[in-house]
Amino acid sequence: MKIYKNTGLNNLVKDIKSMKIQGAKQIALESLKFLRGFCKKDGFSSIKKITKELEEVRPTAVVLHNVLEIVRKEKNIESIDKLIYKLSKTNEKIYFYGSKLIKKNSVIMTHCHSGEALSLIKKGKNITVIATETEPKMQGVITAKELVKSKIKTVIVVDSAEAFFMKDTDIVVVGADALRKEGVVNKIGTLSLAIISKQYRKPFYVVADTLKLDKRKNIIIEERPEKELRYIVKGAVSKNPAFDITPWKYVTNIITEKGVFTPTKIKSMIK
Ligand code: RUB
């Protein structure tokens, strides 16, 4: 990466890798903003190399891949601008379609930190949100802080208390890194939350804009470093996958910027 010294790419990569910049949409937005500056100065001759570099940092989420495919194809600043604009407008549209699902006085459980899920949840009236800590990187803490700042009643719980608190929950709302034929890819632990919701017959909503539709043949589930685990046990193998895939049968509906869709409809959009 030496040739990109002083371009800001190294810092961007570092911040995405360390999760200082996290959440599928934010990663895509920050990457587009970087590319806008870079390509304005240096043109598009190294676009393939530089975007490959960016995609490899966190390979699971598809929105970055989808926007980079467009940038690689169109190779102009206007299309980068259009993508930045599109991504920054989706939350308003998600709210337009999804707001009726967030009932007054309801208790909502969420997992990790999803900008798109939060943009909807935060507009709820007199709601209480149960946020899971989300081990190992505790992005649920970012969620809880954001909710408290917005003066929303917030409860933070350890991940393993999900089932315990499910009886008090009205709906579960999470974000997504990718919407695939097999199901919803999101932060590790989403799958268990979905299974618990189903067991307790609580609606499980996924909030995701349509740039998260994933047509890639295969998906790489990012494996994070073992040092993120709270304990490393000598002699035991440490595993730290960042994401899991929730099969569609656990999902009630998907709230997008184009409307609220059933899993069947979303699957048909992936083909
Ligand atoms: C974040 C995560 C989020 C999705 C959607 O994982 O799984 O739910 O990325 O986020 P990580 P958004 O912290 O590992 O990036 O709605 O902001 O796109």
Residue 70: strand, helix, or coil: helix
How much is the pTM? 0.96
Residue pair 59/99 in contact by the 8 Å Cβ criterion: no
Q: What is the 42 CA–ligand 1 centroid distance (Å)?
A: 31
Residue pair 211/67 in contact by the 8 Å Cβ criterion: yes
Q: Which atom of ligand 1 is nearest to the CA of 61?
A: 9
Nearest to 229 by CA among 242, 240, 237: 240
Ligand 1 and 140: CB distance under 6 A: no
Q: What is the pLDDT of residues 76-132, one digit of tens each?
A: 999 999 999 999 999 999 999 999 999 999 999 999 999 999 999 999 999 999 999
Nearest to 180 by CA among 246, 114, 253, 118: 246
Q: Is 214 among the residues known to form the active site? A: no
Q: What is the 113 CA–ligand 1 centroid distance (Å)?
A: 6
Distance CA 119, CA 129 (A): 13
Looking at 4-13, 62-71, 160-169, 217-226, which range is the least confident one? 4-13
Provide the pLDDT for residue 243: 98
Q: Is 159 among the residues known to form the active site? A: no
Distance CA 172, CA 183 (A): 16
